[in-house]
């Protein structure tokens, strides 16, 4: 049996997620939302996922798929938030507001550099490296990698050095 404290924490976490989603003027990934919520109240990943699933199951939050899966608040979620916003303590709301802009900027910067590899067979991989700004792909390169290790190394190198590699690639394309 759940205690009142557990029920209060669950309700508070749900309202906090709805609060953050109402503040967003653009979409956010599941991981990005977790980063903001966990920075605010220290919720663990599994409890966050269960709370988010409860919100999805009750149609207060939904997922959409553009280039990647993103979390969005539904109109029912906006109505529920307006009815339950008093459940969110002022100190939690203040902390969320303080953290929000900093974390959102960090998330946007992280999400603008993407590298992924797709297996074609056991020893063939396609590697795709992208830069996204304002939800638009501004640069994308796709290449072949002969092993999983090479594919992973290319992805890691892109993720860690895209800001240096991108201008070099553009210069090579313009000056050759």
Domain CATH number, residue 94: 1.10.10.10
68 lies in the same domain as 85: yes
49 lies in the same domain as 132: no
Q: Decide: 158 and 139 in contact? Cβ < 8 Å.
A: no
How many domains, in total, are found in the chain?
2
The pLDDT of residue 1 is: 44
Ramachandran bin of 48, using left for φ above 0, alpha for ψ from -120 to 50, beta for the remaining angles: alpha
Q: Can you give the residue range of the structural domain that contains 117?
A: 113-175
Percent of the chain residues topping a pLDDT of 90: 38
159 lies in the same domain as 107: no
The pTM (predicted TM-score) of the whole model is 0.60
Q: Decide: 76 and 62 in contact? Cβ < 8 Å.
A: no
Average pLDDT over residues 131-143: 84
141 lies in the same domain as 82: no
More confident site: 81 or 106: 81
26 lies in the same domain as 89: yes
| Boundary-marking domain end, from 71, 91, 111 | 111
75 lies in the same domain as 153: no
Alpha-carbon distance values, 140 to 1, 37, 99, 127 (Å): 52, 31, 32, 10
Provide the mean pLDDT of the chain.
85
Q: Decide: 73 and 80 in contact? Cβ < 8 Å.
A: no
Whole-angstrom distance, CA of residue 38 vs CA of residue 26: 20
Whole-angstrom distance, CA of residue 37 vs CA of residue 41: 6
19-36 confidence digits (pLDDT tens): 999 988 777 888 888 888
Whole-angstrom distance, CA of residue 136 vs CA of residue 19: 26
| Boundary-marking domain end, from 111, 134, 154 | 111
Average pLDDT over residues 102-123: 79
């Amino acid at each position: 049996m759940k205690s009142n404290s557990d029920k209060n924490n669950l309700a508070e976490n749900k309202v906090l997620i709805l609060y953050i989603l109402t503040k967003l003027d653009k979409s956010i990934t599941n991981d990005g939302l977790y980063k903001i919520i966990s920075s605010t109240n220290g919720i663990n990943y599994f409890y966050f996922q269960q709370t988010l699933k409860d919100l999805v199951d009750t149609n207060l939050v939904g997922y959409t798929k553009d280039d990647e899966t993103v979390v969005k608040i539904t109109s029912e979620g906006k109505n529920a938030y307006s009815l339950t916003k008093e459940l969110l303590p002022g100190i939690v709301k203040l902390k969320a507001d303080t953290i929000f802009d900093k974390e959102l900027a960090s998330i946007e910067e992280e999400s603008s550099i993407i590298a992924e590899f797709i297996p074609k067979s056991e020893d063939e991989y396609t590697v795709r490296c992208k830069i996204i700004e304002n939800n638009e792909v501004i640069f994308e390169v796709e290449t072949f990698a002969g092993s999983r290790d090479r594919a992973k190394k290319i992805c890691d190198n892109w993720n860690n050095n895209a800001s240096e590699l991108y201008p070099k690639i553009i210069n090579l394309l313009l000056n050759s």
